[in-house]
Amino acid sequence: MKKTVTAVLLFLALFSLPANAQFKLGLEPALGMNFNIHTGSDLPESGSGFGLVAAGQVHMQFSNSIGMIAGLAFYDNRSGSYSQTGSSGGVNYTADVSSSLAYFQIESLFKYTLPSDLYFVIGPELGFNVESESEADVKITTPGFVFPGGGTSQTSKNSIKDTQVRFELKIGAGYEIPIAKKIQIVPQFTFGYGLTNVVKDFKWKILSFQALCGVKFDLL
């Protein structure tokens, strides 16, 4: 008799889970911008720059407050640049150096939502390099001196070798603004702290402030 009662209670509990779980699923295409800060002891100067983000996010809500965001950034630009002045052999120069870096990124973020539809996120992001180039524009500022080939300025472009898989810790907040039944505009602002070096055996990391805006469609 006890086994029968236990089985019935377990059966009822299992079939009551969908009603109590309040699971919701939403799909959100999004576009945005990064403000990137390049830092590291092996860089001559710290750099900064802006980059475009094209992404998609899946919002999973397990209760009124607890959820998760699984995201893909199909193109996540983390470029930056810096300017430097110096002297070599008694010749003064200025150098404008830029790096063009972009990643395909995967993120898994814990999401906590307040009753006001404001939410907070935290979690890891993993990035695979899809673009890595550098450019240096050097100009001689000492009158009367030119480069061996002639001229006072010279530009060089190179591929950045030995780029690593990017691992980042992301934290931030967003807000869901209803505009129609099952449709919301979702602005989101996050800060990403790059934990891995851009290039192997070279102390160079990227920190990013990211602003995204997407349209979320509730599927469930």
**5 neighbors 201 (Cβ within 8 angstroms):** no
Q: How confident is the model at residue 8 (pLDDT cuts 50, 70, 90)?
A: very low
State the greatest distance between any 2 C-alpha atoms of the chain, in Å, as a whole number: 103
Least confident of 16-20, 43-47, 79-83: 16-20
Distances (CA, A) of 79 to 16, 30, 41, 197: 50, 20, 18, 14
Architecture of the domain spanning 21-81+99-132+161-218: Beta Barrel (2.40)
Q: Give yes or no for residue 4 having a pLDDT over 60.
A: no
Tens of pLDDT, residues 161-214: 999 999 999 999 999 999 999 999 999 999 999 999 999 999 999 999 999 999
Residue 16 is predicted with a pLDDT of 44
Quick one: which H or E segment has residue 113? strand 91-113
Measured between alpha carbons, how far is 187 from 176 in angstroms, rounded to an integer?
Answer: 7
Dihedral angle sign, alpha carbons of residues 155, 157, 162, 167? positive
Taking only the tens place, the pLDDT of each residue in 18-46 is: 444 579 999 999 999 999 999 999 999 99
**C-alpha distances out from residue 170 to 123, 132, 150, 188, 215, Å:** 5, 22, 48, 12, 21
Angle at 25 between CA 23 and CA 27, to 5 degrees: 170
Query: What is the signed CA dihedral for 100, 104, 109, 111, rounded to 10 degrees?
Result: 80
Q: Tell me the pTM.
A: 0.85
Segment 120-144, tens digit of pLDDT:
999 999 999 999 999 999 999 999 8
Quick one: tokens of 158? Answer: 């190179």
